[in-house]
Amino acid sequence: MTNARSKRTKARDPLPEHFNTIEEAAEFWDTHSTTDYEEYFKEVDCQFDIKKRTHLISIDGAVYDRIRAIAKKKRIPADKLVSRWIKEKLRSAA
């Protein structure tokens, strides 16, 4: 009986109040089980827009280089610039 009881009340490391880096958190959770800390969990409601999707499209290397250069000048990510251009073209084609 003592053996069974000690398994249920096994010692565990305290959960840090916060982690200073993502690496520190990753190292902790790589060596600890979340099942030992269930009393810290909170129930949350989440909603996802599963209709929004991203798709990969192949672009010639030289064209991509030009897109990146323009995006850099405009200080926006290349994918956002291309998406903006496609939306503009679709509006004008309608």
pLDDT in tens, 41-79: 899 999 887 887 788 899 999 999 999 999 999 999 999
Q: How confident is the model at residue 94 (pLDDT cuts 50, 70, 90)?
A: confident
Pick the more confident residue, 9 or 87.
87
Q: pLDDT per residue over 3-29, tens digit each?
A: 444 445 568 899 998 999 999 999 999
* Six-digit token string for 79: 């994918």
Domain ranges in the chain are 2-40
- CA atoms within 13 A of residue 35's CA, in its CB half-sphere: 2
Asked whether the beta carbons of 13 and 30 are under 8 A apart, the reply is: no
pTM over 0.85: no
- The whole-number pLDDT of residue 5 equals 43
Q: What is the pLDDT of residue 9?
A: 55
